[in-house]
């Protein structure tokens, strides 16, 4: 009887210790997880805004150029319409050919500009993204994160896991340290 009590007490104590060891062993190192929203970073960070401004400025310049060329085409069309009765057939055909060539050139230029602006935007956004990714990795290591996920693929996460605002603040500080000469994306 005494052996049973001792074995029972020993087993109980062993179970208690095993539970304590397992529980503290697995809970001692709490996994630190964060989420990030790159869209918010591009919209709210100084670097993201600089990319947007640069792309918009270049797009407006290209649009002005196309508008000017469109006005030249309208002028030629007006001249063709107005002077068509007094022009020789050859002069009318030459002006019509020149007008068609200008229209084709403007269409080709628009396609070229669209491609150029798209390539510029992709390149600049990727530059910002790479800088932010390096910053996130550095921040994650420094702060002891196990995992930082882009929230686009996360179905649910409590709001307190979102570190986007912190990363924006750090990125803006890093961006400001570059100095006025190196400010903005390399457009």
Q: What is the tens place of the pLDDT at every residue in 2-47?
A: 555 544 444 344 444 444 444 444 444 678 999 999 999 999 999 9
4 or 175, which is more confident? 175
Domain total for the chain?
A: 2
Q: What is the pTM of this model?
A: 0.69
Domain shared by 60 and 79, yes or no: yes
- DSSP E strands in 18-74: the ranges are 33-36
Confidence of residue 184 (pLDDT cuts 50, 70, 90): low
Instruction: Tell me which DSSP letter residue 162 carries.
Output: B
Measured at the CA of 54, the angle between CA 52 and CA 59, to 5 degrees, comes to 95
Mean pLDDT for the chain overall:
83
CA 52 to the chain's CA centroid: 10
Distance CA 9, CA 20 (A): 16
Question: How many helices and strands, by DSSP H and E, does the chain display?
Answer: 5, 2
Q: How far is CA 63 from CA 66, 77, 94, 111, 151, in A?
A: 5, 21, 28, 12, 35
Strand partners, 150: 36
Q: What is the pLDDT of residue 186?
A: 53
Interatomic CA distance for residues 165 and 15, integer angstroms: 46
Identify the pLDDT of residue 23.
43
- Does the residue 51 lie in any domain? yes
Which domain covers residue 10, as residue numbers? 1-29
pLDDT digits (tens, 9 = 90+) for 133-169: 999 999 999 999 999 999 988 889 898 999 999 999 9
Residues 14, 50, single domain; the answer is no
The verdict on 1 and 69 lying in the same domain is: no
Task: Answer yes or no: do 12 and 93 share one domain.
Answer: no
Q: Are residues 159 and 72 in the same domain?
A: yes
């Amino acid at each position: 009887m005494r052996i049973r009590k001792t074995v029972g007490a020993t087993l109980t104590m062993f179970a208690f210790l095993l539970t304590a060891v397992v529980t503290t062993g697995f809970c001692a190192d709490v996994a630190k997880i964060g989420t990030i929203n790159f869209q918010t970073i591009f919209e709210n960070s100084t670097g993201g805004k600089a990319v947007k401004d640069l792309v918009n400025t270049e797009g407006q310049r290209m649009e002005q150029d196309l508008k000017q060329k469109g006005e030249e085409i309208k002028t030629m069309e007006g001249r063709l319409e107005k002077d068509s009765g007094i022009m020789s057939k050859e002069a009318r055909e030459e002006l019509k050919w020149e007008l068609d060539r200008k229209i084709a050139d403007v269409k080709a230029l628009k396609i070229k500009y669209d491609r150029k602006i798209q390539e510029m935007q992709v390149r600049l956004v990727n530059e910002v993204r790479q800088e932010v990714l390096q910053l996130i990795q550095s921040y994650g290591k420094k702060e002891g994160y196990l995992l930082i996920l882009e929230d686009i693929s996360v179905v649910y996460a409590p709001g307190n896991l979102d570190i986007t605002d912190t990363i924006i603040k750090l990125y803006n500080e890093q961006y400001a340290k570059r100095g006025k000469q190196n400010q903005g994306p390399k457009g």
